[in-house]
Amino acid sequence: MSENMDNNKESLFSLKNRKLLSNPLSKENPISVQVLGICSVLAITVQLRASIVMAISVIAVMGFANVIISLLRKTIPPRIRIIVQLTVIASLVILVDQILKAYVYDVSRQLSVFVGLIITNCIIMGRLEAFALYNKPWPSFLDGIGNAAGYGWVLLTVGFFRELLGSGTLMGYQVIPDALYEVGYENNGFMILPPMALITVGVIIWVQRHRDRELIDVS
Amino acid sequence: MKALHDFLENRIKPHFVKGGRLEKFYRTFEAFETFLFVSGDVTKRGSHIRDAMDMKRTMFHVVIALMPVMLFGMWNVGYQHYQAIGQESGLIDNFIFGLLRVLPLIVVSYVAGLTVEFIFASIRDHEVNEGFLVTGLLIPLVIPVTTPLWMVAVATVFAVIIGKEVFGGTGMNILNPALLARAFLFFAYPAHLSGDDVWIYTGLEQGQQLVDGFTGATPLAMLTTGEIENLPSLMGMFIGSIPGSVGETSTIAVLLGALILVATGVGSLRIMLSVVAGGLFMGLLFNLFAVNDYMELPAHYHLVMGGFAFGTVYMATDPVSASQTGTGKYIYGFLIGVVTILIRVVNPAYPEGMMLAILFMNVFAPLIDHYVVQANIKRRLRRLKT
């Protein structure tokens, strides 16, 4: 990754930069491959709306945090880098939290502490440590957005299935027709419980490994 | 027989082998072929001595051992129904009524589960295993007779895919698939698997009504809600003419099944005995420190109520998900008994603890085995040094 540093004349969307954006979506997905940030997937995917807001919040926080740390990377003393990173993330999270409270108050209530807990999301710290500290702002930005998007699509998929099967709704609107309920269909209460989020993530991992054999870890 | 064999071999098989029109369904064909005849495949190199007790025979022994509980369960479904509507009925009436209610559950469970098994066998190109023969019969026996059929199908598919196929199929599962199906139903559709209204098929027709004082509560539910004086007699619970899941009510039928399992060497006597010991131990412990009616209940009552007997004999002894080592089996079984009674008495949200206790200990079984094996290695090393 550090070879980006000595390549000054690289175009904005070179192959390498596009890879930064696209790899975390599949081969290096933070959730399904690196198994990071699982807690929030279990906690806030009961409703699709909350998942979407959470995904957007994380994209915003990660994009900006990566850029800021990347800009500061030469001035941060290595011994206190963790606390600097945390300060940056925490400030961004407070910003996001205030914006959510101002514009989508009900979702903000629903997400409750989990917006604050974005600070402890291991994906963000991980990318700052592994990438932003050693790379220029633009690649860092792409890396942040890419990883957050990789996190986001898993979140949305899990949220989609959990809300559809658990509550019969999507974004709060009923999508399973009443006729189906009349013939005996019922919402699956298990889908609302956290274990089912874990199983759904497991199924995503299974499908992904099945399609991309090189991800299978035989050890 | 010979004619049928020739017909299969010459007329049907060519369509399914490589190059045939139905090549994709070869595994389906093979499953039915080996169901009717012994597999035609022979080992190609060297000679193998094989025990006649292969998986198919093991599984059939369990199915045979399940017959007493299944037949009794069918009778009990009818008996409970006619009792509920206050109608006189004979042995045959009861049985026919129960048969008509239970058979759809069995058919749905087999069709749903085997469909998944066949699909996975085709994709992974291996033989269809006989493991589901037992699971498919266990599932209808551990759920209430009133469970909607589509829920049975969904739970079976879930249990086979998530409980078994993701881990690699028969023999690789961590949890008992039949219990997983029940747990899935229990958490997904709690209204259909708990409470007082689901255990007896009432299905009132015109002119019929429930008898006065009918509650439909299982003995365990009565204990949880504190109606200890309404409890059926110990003998009644032992014979099994009480409300409950289809196959779990009769301790006597379960004992008959246990006899078959132990005599044929399929079920582990160690596990069965240690589960009972664990249950009694915890029951007696509660008796010693009793602070309410439930805790004062004699320990042996626990053995005949709910799914304790059924779980002990058919579920805890599942050779795949149980502990493998001898000592491990004692620990595993004992803890199942202890946890079951603990859940029953202490947690009012779950009147029955057998399902959760077995699933819980299934997860711990490999850990128990690991420590038993390590302890054995240590012991032998010490012996070597002295």
Closest Cα in chain A to B165: A206
Substitution target in A182, A190, A203 with the highest count of B β-carbons within 10 Å is A190
Q: Does B166 touch chain A (CB under 8 A)?
A: yes
Contact B189 A199 (CB under 8 A): no
Cross-chain CB nearest to A189 (options B148, B162, B188): B188
Q: Is the ipTM of this complex over 0.85?
A: no
Mind telling me how many Å the CA of B235 is from chain A's nearest CA?
37
Residues in B 281-300 with any Cβ partner in A closer than 8 A: none
Residues of B in contact with A184 (CB under 8 A): 148, 150
Contact B150 A184 (CB under 8 A): yes
- Model confidence band, residue A219 (pLDDT cutoffs 50, 70, 90): low
- Specify the 3-state DSSP secondary structure of B349: coil
Residue-range domain boundaries for chain A: 35-218
Closest Cα in chain A to B183: A190
Q: How many residues does chain A have?
A: 219
Residue A169's DSSP bridge partners are A174
| Res B28: pLDDT | 77
Cross-chain CB nearest to A190 (options B150, B166, B188): B188
Through-space distance between the first and last CA atoms of chain A, rounded to whole angstroms:
26
Mind telling me how many Å the CA of A43 is from chain B's nearest CA?
18
Mind telling me how many Å the CA of A188 is from chain B's nearest CA?
5
Substitution target in A186, A187, A191, A209 with the highest count of B β-carbons within 10 Å is A186
Mind telling me how many Å the CA of B162 is from chain A's nearest CA?
8
Contact A193 B189 (CB under 8 A): no
> Among B261, B367, B241, B371, which Cα is nearest to B312's?
B261
Whether the pLDDT of residue A3 is over 70: the answer is no
Map chain A to HEC letters.
CHHHHHCCCCCCCCHHHHHHHHHHHCCCCCCCCCCCCHHHHHHHCCCHHHHHHHHHHHHHHHHHHHHHHHHHCCCCCHHHHHHHHHHHHHHHHHHHHHHHHHHCHHHHHHHCHHHHHHHHCHHHHHHHHHCHHHCCHHHHHHHHHHHHHHHHHHHHHHHHHHHHHHHCEECCEECCCHHHHHCCCCCCHHHHCHHHHHHHHHHHHHHHHHHCHHHCCCC
Cross-chain CB nearest to B187 (options A185, A193, A203): A193
Substitution target in B187, B194, B198, B360 with the highest count of A β-carbons within 10 Å is B187
Residues of B in contact with A188 (CB under 8 A): 188-189
Residues 6+ apart with CB under 8 A from B168: none
Residue-range domain boundaries for chain B: 2-36, 55-375
Average pLDDT of span A111-127: 86
Interface of A with B (CB under 8 A): 184-186, 188-191, 193, 199, 202-203, 206
Site of tokens 């045939």: B20
Average pLDDT of span A1-30: 73
Share the mean pLDDT of chain A: 87
Whether the pLDDT of residue A2 is over 50: the answer is no
Record the tokens describing residue B342, joined without a space. 């603990």
Cross-chain CB nearest to B162 (options A185, A189, A199): A199
Residues of A in contact with B148 (CB under 8 A): 184
For residues A152, A157, A159, A165, the Cα torsion angle rounded to the nearest 10 degrees is 180
Whether the pLDDT of residue A146 is over 80: the answer is yes
Substitution target in A161, A188, A196, A204 with the highest count of B β-carbons within 10 Å is A188
Residues of A in contact with B188 (CB under 8 A): 188-191
Q: Does B162 touch chain A (CB under 8 A)?
A: yes
Query: What are the backbone angles phi and psi of residue A170, rounded to the nearest 5°?
Result: -135, 130
| Res B260: pLDDT | 94
| Res B86: pLDDT | 83
Per-residue pLDDT of chain B (386 residues; tens, 9 = 90+): 777 778 777 777 777 777 777 777 777 777 777 777 766 667 777 777 777 777 888 888 999 999 999 999 999 999 998 888 888 888 899 999 999 999 999 999 999 999 999 888 888 888 787 788 899 999 999 999 999 999 999 999 999 999 998 888 888 899 999 999 999 999 999 888 888 888 888 777 766 777 777 777 888 888 888 777 778 888 888 998 888 899 889 999 999 999 999 999 888 999 999 999 999 999 999 999 888 888 888 888 889 988 899 999 999 999 899 999 999 999 999 999 999 999 998 888 888 889 999 999 999 999 999 999 999 999 999 999 88
**Residue B7 DSSP class:** I
Cross-chain CB nearest to B189 (options A189, A203, A206): A189
Cross-chain CB nearest to A184 (options B148, B166, B190): B148
Closest Cα in chain B to A192: B188
The answer to whether residues A123 and A37 touch, using CB atoms and an 8 Å cutoff, is yes
Mind telling me how many Å the CA of A189 is from chain B's nearest CA?
4
Q: What is the DSSP string of B59-119?
A: HHHHHHHHHHHHHHHHHHHHHHHHHHTT----HHHHHHHHHHHHHHHHHHHHHHHHHHHHH
Closest Cα in chain B to A167: B188
Average pLDDT of span A116-143: 89
Substitution target in B119, B180, B189 with the highest count of A β-carbons within 10 Å is B189
| Res B55: pLDDT | 80
pLDDT above 70: percentage of residues in chain A: 95
Contact B189 A185 (CB under 8 A): no
- Model confidence band, residue A1 (pLDDT cutoffs 50, 70, 90): very low
Closest Cα in chain A to B155: A188
Contact A206 B148 (CB under 8 A): no
Average pLDDT of span A88-97: 93
Mind telling me how many Å the CA of A166 is from chain B's nearest CA?
9
Give the predicted TM-score (pTM) of the model. 0.87
Residues of B in contact with A202 (CB under 8 A): 162, 166
> Among B68, B110, B59, which Cα is nearest to B247's?
B68
pLDDT digits (tens, 9 = 90+) for A43-89: 888 889 889 999 999 999 999 999 999 999 999 998 999 999 999 99
Q: Tell me how crowded residue B7 is: count the other CB atoms within 10 A of its CB.
A: 11
